[in-house]
């Protein structure tokens, strides 16, 4: 990266920078743990027989060693084939009308905040606003080390209970939204997609920040007829670039579907996955009559709902991934 002309080829440079970040995510914590252990050894030598002289510093260093090792232990759980990859996250409202559309937008903001807190890059690929509020669908790419490995814990139906801001009588409303997460796959991955299996539609892009593409039908929607999978992209000025990105997303979803069939892990995620409604949720967010977020898969819960909606998801993600690892 220090070589002259490194940035002359932006695409190749960005790819190498991304590779460096992934490697650093593995190597840096190991080097930090080793350095802390060395520091602890030095403190023990300095203390000699007078342990009290170094007790405070040694206890602090050992506590930091423990925290670092805990993070390394968690990282070992992210050893799946695509866990290091970027993630493509799609949110769709379910049962609940306007409230569900609003809830889907709240979830989108939650994941964007989670990603930004980790210095991940978030790129909007598709954003279609609801008729009265919220969104009809949104797809974003989250780029960063182990983005997919972490966010795959969020795949499923999310349930919200609150006093509806859209109900003049201030009644309690339950609404649902689904979150789908797939890895961004390399361009050279071999996934066969036949032209005859595709229906390609163009439409006029919409959404915040999309004024520069609203004048032409540059947005692309691709339907894979055999599976019914639909992908859209509208963030680029060029229809060609939007189609290329949509095809990349479709490839990732088809690959995940085939993996799910082989592993019998998510075999019912498409087709027979059930409705985005009561009885299918993985997590409940209750704002009224009390405050609580509870993950129904792991039992992890917290009363600090606003912190969770502000992107503090790690306790839920870690508990789920630890549970999956134990089952394996």
Q: Which two tokens stand for residue 160?
A: 């919200």
Which pLDDT belongs to residue 188? 63
Domain boundary among 55, 76, 97: 76
Tens digits of per-residue pLDDT, 145-181?
899 999 999 999 999 999 999 998 989 999 999 999 9
Contact residues for 280 (Cβ-Cβ < 8 A; gap 6+):
156, 157, 176, 273, 274
Domain limits for position 182: 87-327
Residue-averaged pLDDT of the chain: 86
CA 160 to CA 103: how far, in whole Å?
Answer: 7
The contacts of residue 134 (CB under 8 Å, 6+ apart) are 93, 98, 100, 101, 102, 103, 104, 105, 106
Residue 241 has pLDDT above 60, yes or no: yes
Number of domains within the chain: 2
Q: Which residue has the higher pLDDT, 137 or 214?
A: 137
Q: Are residues 185 and 288 in the same domain?
A: yes
What is the tens place of the pLDDT at every residue in 188-221?
A: 667 788 899 999 998 877 654 444 444 456 889 9
Is 230 buried (19+), middle (13-18) or exposed (0-12) by CB count in 10 A?
A: middle
Judging by beta carbons within 10 Å of its beta carbon (0-12, 13-18, 19+), is residue 31 exposed, middle or buried? exposed
Q: Is the pLDDT of residue 92 over 50?
A: yes
Q: What is the mean pLDDT of residues 110-133?
A: 93
Sign for the pseudo-dihedral over CA of 215, 219, 225, 228:
negative
Mind listing the pLDDT tens digit for each residue in 273-321?
A: 455 656 679 999 999 999 999 999 999 999 999 999 999 999 999 999 9
Judge if 239 and 320 occupy the same domain.
yes
Among 21, 52, 76, which residue terminates a domain? 76
Backbone φ, ψ for residue 54 (5° rounding): -120, 5
We report the CATH number of the domain holding residue 313 as 3.30.70.1660
pLDDT in the model for residue 323: 83
Per the model's pLDDT, the better-predicted residue between 243 and 214 turns out to be: 243
Q: Of the candidates 76, 99, 117, which is a domain's last residue?
A: 76
Helix (H) or strand (E) holding 170: none
pTM of the model: 0.73
110 with 173, same domain: the answer is: yes
* Percentage of residues in the chain having pLDDT higher than 70: 88
Place of tokens 């379910």: 94
Contact 229, 254 (CB under 8 A): yes
**Token representation of residue 264:** 């019998």
């Amino acid at each position: 990266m220090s070589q002259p002309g490194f940035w002359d080829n932006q695409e190749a440079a960005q790819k190498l920078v991304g590779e460096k970040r992934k490697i650093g995510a593995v190597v840096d914590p190991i080097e930090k743990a080793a350095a802390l252990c060395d520091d602890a050894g030095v403190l023990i030598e300095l203390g000699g027989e007078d342990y009290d002289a170094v007790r405070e510093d040694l206890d602090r260093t050992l506590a930091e060693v423990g925290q670092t090792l805990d993070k390394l232990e968690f990282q070992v759980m992210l050893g799946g084939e695509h866990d290091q990859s970027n993630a493509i996250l799609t949110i769709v409202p379910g049962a609940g009308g306007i409230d569900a559309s609003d809830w889907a937008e709240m979830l989108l903001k939650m994941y964007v905040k989670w990603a930004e807190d980790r210095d991940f890059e978030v790129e909007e690929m598709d954003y279609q606003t609801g008729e009265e509020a919220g969104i009809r669908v949104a797809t974003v790419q989250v780029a960063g080390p182990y983005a997919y490995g972490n966010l795959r814990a969020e795949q499923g139906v999310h349930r919200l209970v609150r006093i509806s801001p859209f109900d003049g009588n201030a009644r309690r409303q339950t609404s649902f939204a689904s979150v789908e997460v797939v890895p961004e796959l390399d361009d050279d991955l071999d996934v066969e997609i036949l032209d005859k299996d595709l229906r390609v539609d163009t439409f006029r892009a919409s959404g915040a920040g999309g004024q520069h593409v609203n004048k032409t039908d540059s947005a692309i929607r691709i339907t894979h007829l055999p599976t019914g999978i639909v992908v859209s992209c509208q963030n680029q000025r060029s229809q060609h670039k939007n189609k290329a990105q949509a095809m990349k997303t479709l490839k990732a979803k088809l690959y995940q579907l085939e993996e799910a069939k082989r592993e019998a892990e998510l075999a019912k995620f498409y087709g027979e996955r059930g409705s985005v409604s009561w009885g299918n949720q993985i997590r409940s967010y209750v704002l009224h009559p009390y405050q609580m977020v509870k993950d129904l898969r792991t039992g992890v819960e917290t009363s600090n709902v606003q912190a969770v909606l502000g992107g503090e998801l790690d306790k839920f993600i870690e508990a789920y991934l630890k549970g999956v690892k134990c089952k394996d």
